[in-house]
Amino acid sequence: MEFWFLLLLGLFTYIIVRRSVAGMTRTPVWLLWLVLMTPALIWSIWMAVYGPDQPLPIALAIGPFVICPVLYWLLIQWGRRGMSPAPPTANPAAVNSNPEPTPEPTPVRPIEPAEEAQLRDCFPWSTFYIHNIEYRPQAVICRGQLRTSPTDAYEKIRRNIENQFGDRFLVLLQEGLNNKPFFALVPNPQARKDRPAERSQLSRPFLAVGLVIATLFTTAVVGVQLASSNNTTPSATITQLHEGLPYAVALLAILGIHEMGHYLTARFHKILVTLPYFIPIPFFPGTFGAFIQMRSPVPNRKALFDVSIAGPVAGFVATLPLLIWGLANSQVVPIPEKAGTLDPDALNPGYSILLAVLSKLALGAQLTADKAIDLHPVAIAGFLGLVVTALNLMPVGQLDGGHIVHAMFGQRTGAAIGQIARFLVLGLALVQPGFWLWAIILFFMPIADEPALNDVTELDNKRDIIGLLVLALLVLIILPAPRFITNLLQI
């Protein structure tokens, strides 16, 4: 099992490095990947040599998480310093024969000089008084003074630029380092594309349905193994496939409703988005989850918040009844002397505050302090639903929680919260070994996500309160139940 997790983690990390930094540094991708994978390799080697019962020394537990991110950053910066070498030539002697310095290339301007007056006309002085325009190779930065609300200013200037330049630019309203808003015009990659053809590529129902069927099969196979007390042969597993359907259907329902929450909310905000795609795997838990891809920018922080929070909330609402039913049909067993942290055959309900409350609600007086729970397959699916909800709510980078804190507090503050969350999860892993994999994944993940087009307008109070409640739900899921709660529940 550890091998498969390490393999998937390695592929996941390689894809992140390839997409995020390969274009900004000459440092080989494999070297950056190896640096990021070092903590996981150290952890895996220790587990293979000493077993899960021997805890990691503090130096090996914390040291790689401190050293590797710093080394990763230094390697990226080292590669950046070599990004602009002298242009190669087929005749080395020609370099010495020309004493005149090579002129610097003329920077690419997204707009022509004659179009600057048209651009300035798009910014009424009563809305956004322009001080200066900066031309970058891939953007036009318009700095000035905001004279009205960010929402009104963005909508008015966006319409003016669309009337003047069509769909040639994406208009961004961002917050600078001095906390002063500025506008940026970025060439629109979707300009003049065939929109009907583009939308047809987004809708691939046969692929989506095919992946659902494949994932239903792999999860049903896992469900047979969970439902059977003995190891079953592959041929017996196929004939007993119907026994694995309760687990499979429950898990796919939770994951599917989670992704449909994202999908429907994105469509409501008129964001181009693909259908949900499941990822089947041939071992526990039978699927690596599901995902959707947004193919157009998020218009504002309100839409970013709504799309991000809809998935975890919808998934959690689907998880609750399935988990409670599964717990009510589970068996109470004695706590074994050597039980794994997340052993479904003997799960300690004190693993989390919320799980302890739900377990007591479902099992009542038969659940006491010296008892564990042999989970019903549907309860296992519900427990995985809690895990998926908590992992997605982690306020880091591209995760739903990272988008939520970005929408609530702004991009820079959200990134700072994500950095703090990484170290808090690392500290939690020292207490709960089951969180080591979480700590590794979070440290490999980029800390910041992409801004919305209007990334200045703040959320309303209602959304801020909902966001805080959802982050409180994260705390209830991941924190172990303290003694006063277990005493109160008589667990």
The reported pLDDT for the residue numbered 311 is 96
Structurally, how many domains does the chain consist of? Answer: 3
Q: Taking 50 as the threshold, does the pLDDT of residue 89 lie above it?
A: no
Q: Taking 60 as the threshold, does the pLDDT of residue 114 lie above it?
A: yes
Overall pTM > 0.85: no
The reported pLDDT for the residue numbered 86 is 39
Q: Quick one: average pLDDT of 294-313? A: 95
Domain with residue 123: its CATH number is 3.30.1360
The reply to whether 89 falls in a domain is: no
Is 366 found in the same domain as 388?
Answer: yes
User: Which of 159, 192, 225 represents a domain boundary (last residue)?
Assistant: 192
The reported pLDDT for the residue numbered 293 is 86
More confident residue, 89 or 12: 12
The reported pLDDT for the residue numbered 52 is 60
More confident residue, 250 or 10: 250
More confident residue, 424 or 67: 424
Is 439 found in the same domain as 293?
Answer: yes
More confident residue, 231 or 458: 458
Q: Taking 80 as the threshold, does the pLDDT of residue 72 lie above it?
A: no
Tokens matching residue 311: 């998935």
The reply to whether 369 falls in a domain is: yes
Domain membership of residue 376 as a residue range: 197-489
> pLDDT tens, 358-386?
999 999 888 888 888 999 999 999 999 99
Q: Quick one: average pLDDT of 248-254? A: 96
The reply to whether 346 falls in a domain is: yes
The reply to whether 339 falls in a domain is: yes
- 480 contacts 351 by C-beta, under 8 angstroms: yes
The reply to whether 93 falls in a domain is: no
The reply to whether 126 falls in a domain is: yes
> pLDDT tens, 273-286?
999 999 898 888 88
User: Which of 80, 102, 125 represents a domain boundary (last residue)?
Assistant: 80
Q: Taking 80 as the threshold, does the pLDDT of residue 312 lie above it?
A: yes
More confident residue, 340 or 44: 44
Q: Taking 90 as the threshold, does the pLDDT of residue 248 lie above it?
A: yes
Phi, psi (rounded to 5 degrees) for 123: -115, 90
pLDDT band with cut points at 50, 70 and 90 for residue 235: low
Is 219 found in the same domain as 150?
Answer: no
Q: Which residues pair with 300 in a beta bridge?
A: 454
Is 335 found in the same domain as 469?
Answer: yes
Q: Which of 10-14, 37-41, 378-382 has the highest mean pLDDT?
A: 378-382
Q: Taking 80 as the threshold, does the pLDDT of residue 443 lie above it?
A: no
The reported pLDDT for the residue numbered 196 is 55
The reported pLDDT for the residue numbered 310 is 97
> pLDDT tens, 132-165?
999 887 789 999 999 999 999 999 999 999 999 9
- How many angstroms separate the CA atoms of 321 and 391, rounded? 20
Is 272 found in the same domain as 201?
Answer: yes
Q: Which residue blocks in 329-352 are alpha helix, DSSP H?
A: none
The reply to whether 296 falls in a domain is: yes
More confident residue, 296 or 95: 296
- How many angstroms separate the CA atoms of 104 and 455, rounded? 35
Angle CA 95–101–103, to nearest 5: 115
The reported pLDDT for the residue numbered 229 is 59
**Taking Cα atoms as reference points, which of 434, 429, 387, 399 lies closest to residue 287?**
387
pLDDT band with cut points at 50, 70 and 90 for residue 106: very low
pLDDT band with cut points at 50, 70 and 90 for residue 99: very low
Classify 451 as helix, strand or coil.
coil
More confident residue, 3 or 180: 180
Is 368 found in the same domain as 239?
Answer: yes
Q: Quick one: average pLDDT of 383-390? A: 94
Is 215 found in the same domain as 182?
Answer: no
Phi, psi (rounded to 5 degrees) for 17: -65, -45
- How many angstroms separate the CA atoms of 394 and 400, rounded? 7
Taking the alpha carbons at both ends of the chain, their separation in whole angstroms is 31
Q: Which residues pair with 173 in a beta bridge?
A: 183, 454
Is 289 found in the same domain as 151?
Answer: no
In the chain, % of residues over pLDDT 70? 80
The reported pLDDT for the residue numbered 200 is 52
Is 340 found in the same domain as 449?
Answer: yes
Q: Which residues pair with 133 in a beta bridge?
A: 142
Given the structure tokens 């589970």, which residue do they identify?
330
Classify 337 as helix, strand or coil.
coil
The reported pLDDT for the residue numbered 295 is 86
Q: Taking 90 as the threshold, does the pLDDT of residue 254 lie above it?
A: yes
Q: Taking 80 as the threshold, does the pLDDT of residue 237 lie above it?
A: no
What does pLDDT average to over the chain? 82
Q: Quick one: average pLDDT of 116-125? A: 91
Is 234 found in the same domain as 181?
Answer: no
Q: 119-133, 222-236, 252-266, 437-451 — which is least confidently predicted? A: 222-236
Cβ-based neighbours of 438, under 8 Å, separated by 6 or more = 391, 394, 425, 429
Query: How buried is 105 (Cβ within 10 angstroms: 0-12 exposed, 13-18 middle, 19+ buried)?
Result: exposed
Is 233 found in the same domain as 183?
Answer: no
Tokens matching residue 351: 């693993």
Q: Quick one: average pLDDT of 385-405? A: 93
Phi/psi region, residue 283 (left: phi>0; alpha: psi -120 to 50; beta: rest), is beta
The reply to whether 405 falls in a domain is: yes
Is 298 found in the same domain as 246?
Answer: yes
> pLDDT tens, 327-341?
999 999 988 776 555
Q: Taking 50 as the threshold, does the pLDDT of residue 107 lie above it?
A: no
User: Which of 160, 192, 224 represents a domain boundary (last residue)?
Assistant: 192
Q: Which residues pair with 434 in a beta bridge?
A: none
